[in-house]
Amino acid sequence: MMQSVYPDGFRAYFDAWEARIGSFLEYDAQLLETAARQAAGSSSLSDDADVAGLPFGVKDNIAVAGMQLSCGSRLLDGFISPYSATSVTKLMGAGAVPVGKMNMDEFGMGSSTDGSAFKRTNNPWDTDRVAGGSSGGPAAAVAAGLVPFALGSDTGGSVRQPANFCGVVGLKPTYGAVSRFGLVAYASSLETVGVLADTAWRARAAFMAMRGQDELDQTSAEWPAGAPGDRRHGGCMVAPMTIGVLSEGAATLEPEVAFGFDEAKSALKAQGHRIVDIELPSLTYAVPAYYTIATAEASANLARFDGIRYGNRPQYSDNPEELVDKTRGRGFGDEVKLRILLGTFVLRSGFQDRYYLRAQRIRAGIRHDFERVLHGCDAILMPVFPTRAFGRGEDGLSPFAQKVADVFTCCANLAGLPALAFPTGVAGGLPVGVQLVGPAFGEGALLDIAEAYEATHPIARPVGYQSWWGTK
C-alpha cells in the first residue's frame, strides 16, 4: 500500500494524534487541511507573512464568533459565541485562521486539564500523563504538531506550565500588552491571553500580530515604541545579556527538573550571557496571595453564569432565584465551586483586611521585589514547575500540591510581567524546560534569548511528530 503523499496525509496524521491526546473540543477539519496544504506549498515563510495562512487553535475560554465558548464547563456546553476576542480578530487580520476550540480545566481553574467537564487531554509524550493546565488542549495540540500555535490564557501559569509539560514554547505577555476582550474572565487583574507555539520564532510572530491597545479593553496598553526585540533573529546569536538566576526553591524540584535547569543555566552561560544569582524573598507568600486574589476576582467574575440569559439551565424553576441556584449547582464542577466559595470568603466585609487587602500588599511587595532584581539584570531565569508532566491517580499530584507548585509561575502574574517558558531538553522521556521573566514589555528580549538557545539546542519532539508548518 502506497503511503499517502504529503500533505494529503495530514488528515490521517491529525486524526491519529487527536484520538490519542484529545486536545480539541471542536474543530473544522476542512479548514485545517486547507491550511496544512497551503503551509506545505510555501517553501519558506517570509517576515511579512509570519502567521498568514496558518491555522491556530483557541483555548475554549477565548471567544471566536460562531464557535462554542464552553470554558470547559457543563454550564456553557453548547454556548456559541456571538463575537470574537480582539486577540483572535487581530490574528485573523494578519491572515491566520482559527480552526477550533481546545480543551481546558473548567474556567481555567486547574493544572492538568482533567478539570474539563468534557474530556481528558493526554500528554503527547506519554498519554498516561496529563498535558498540564489549564491550557492543556493547546499545549498538547501544538506539541503533536496539529497546529503551529494556539491561544491560551495564563492566570497563574496556565500557558507556561502545560507548554513546559508538553515541550513547546509558552509566552505569557506583559499585563495589558494583549487585549483581554473576549477572554472569559477568571481573575481579571492577573490573566493575559498567551501563545503556545512550536518555536520561539512562531510565538513572537503570533504575539506581534495580536498585541497593542484595544478600546474594548481599557486595561490594555499601547505597545511602547522603544521596546526591545522586534527584529527576528532567525537563530542568530544575540548580544550577551545579564540573566539573574533564582536558586531558591531548588530543593523542591524533581531531580530531572533540577538537572534540566542546571543544564540550561550552563548552556546560557556558554552562549555568552552573564549569569548572576538573585533572590526574591517575597516569593514565599506568592501562592497564598495569588489564590486569595484569584478566587476573590473569580467569585465576582463567575457570578454572571446564572442561566438567565444563556447557558444550560433547568427545564423548570419555581422562581428566578431557584433557576440561578439550580443552574450553578449543576453547571459548575467541584474545583470551580471551591474557588467561588473561597473568593466569597476572603471578600466578606470585616475580613478584607485579613485576606484580600493583605494579599494585595503582598502583591505590591512581589512587584517591588521583581523591579529591584530586574534593575540589575535583563531577565530572570526560573523553573516553570517543580515536576515534569505528572500522571493520574496514584502517580498524580494532589489538588493542594498542584496549587503549591504554582509558585514559580504565579509570581509573574502578580507582578504583571512577561514570562516565557521554553523547552530545554528531555529527561526520563519527558520534556523539561525553564522560564524567563523580564521587565514590562520586555517580551522581545526573552524571545531573543530563547530563539538563540533553540538554534543550538533544537526543540525535541514526541515520537511520531511530523512538521507540517514550516519554520524560519
Report the catalytic residues: 59, 134, 158
Smallest distance from the beta carbon of 145 to another protein, in angstroms?
29
Q: Is there a contact between 75 and 33 (Cβ–Cβ < 8 Å)?
A: no
Select 255 or 350, whichever has its Cβ closest to another protein: 350
What gap in Å lies between CA 299 and CA 316, rounded to an integer?
Answer: 26
Give the Å distances, CA to CA, from 376 to 76, 241, 365: 47, 11, 18
Smallest distance from the beta carbon of 471 to another protein, in angstroms?
31
- For residue 250, give the DSSP letter: G
Give the residue carrying C-alpha cell 492566570: 155
- For residue 408, give the DSSP letter: H
Select 189 or 252, whichever has its Cβ closest to another protein: 189
Q: Which residues pair with 59 in a beta bridge?
A: 102
3-state secondary structure of 442: coil
Smallest distance from the beta carbon of 134 to another protein, in angstroms?
15
Which residues contact another protein (rule: CB under 8 A)?
61-63, 69, 71, 76, 79, 81-83, 85, 180-185, 187-189, 215-219, 296-297, 299-300, 303-306, 308-310, 319-321, 323-324, 344, 347-349, 352, 356
Smallest distance from the beta carbon of 314 to another protein, in angstroms?
14
Residue 62 C-alpha cell reads as 477565548
Smallest distance from the beta carbon of 172 to another protein, in angstroms?
17
What gap in Å lies between CA 30 and CA 60, rounded to an integer?
Answer: 19
Render 269-316 in DSSP notation, one character per residue: HHTT-EEEEE--GGGGGHHHHHHHHHHHHHHHHGGG-SSSSSS---S-
The type of residue at 348 is: R
* Region for 464 from its dihedrals, namely left if φ exceeds 0, alpha if ψ lies in -120 to 50, beta otherwise: left
Q: Is there a contact between 142 and 179 (Cβ–Cβ < 8 Å)?
A: no
Select 129 or 172, whichever has its Cβ closest to another protein: 172
Select 161 or 299, whichever has its Cβ closest to another protein: 299
CA torsion, points 60, 185, 63, 323, in degrees to nearest 10?
80
Smallest distance from the beta carbon of 456 to another protein, in angstroms?
40
The type of residue at 74 is: R
Smallest distance from the beta carbon of 330 to another protein, in angstroms?
16
Select 277 or 318, whichever has its Cβ closest to another protein: 318
Residue 87 has φ and ψ, to the nearest 5°, of -60, -40
Select 73 or 164, whichever has its Cβ closest to another protein: 73
Select 61 or 112, whichever has its Cβ closest to another protein: 61
* Region for 470 from its dihedrals, namely left if φ exceeds 0, alpha if ψ lies in -120 to 50, beta otherwise: left
Select 299 or 435, whichever has its Cβ closest to another protein: 299
Q: String of b and e for 321-331 (b: at least 16 CB within 10 Å)?
A: eebbebbbeeb
Select 234 or 320, whichever has its Cβ closest to another protein: 320
H helix intervals, 24-147: 29-41, 86-93, 136-143
Smallest distance from the beta carbon of 318 to another protein, in angstroms?
10
- For residue 99, give the DSSP letter: E
- How many CB atoms neighbour CB 52 within 10 A? 16
Give the Å distances, CA to CA, from 464 to 13, 14, 20, 389: 9, 11, 12, 19
What gap in Å lies between CA 261 and CA 425, rounded to an integer?
Answer: 10
Q: Where are the beta strands (DSSP E) in 141-285?
A: 149-154, 169-172, 192-197, 242-246, 274-278
Smallest distance from the beta carbon of 211 to another protein, in angstroms?
17
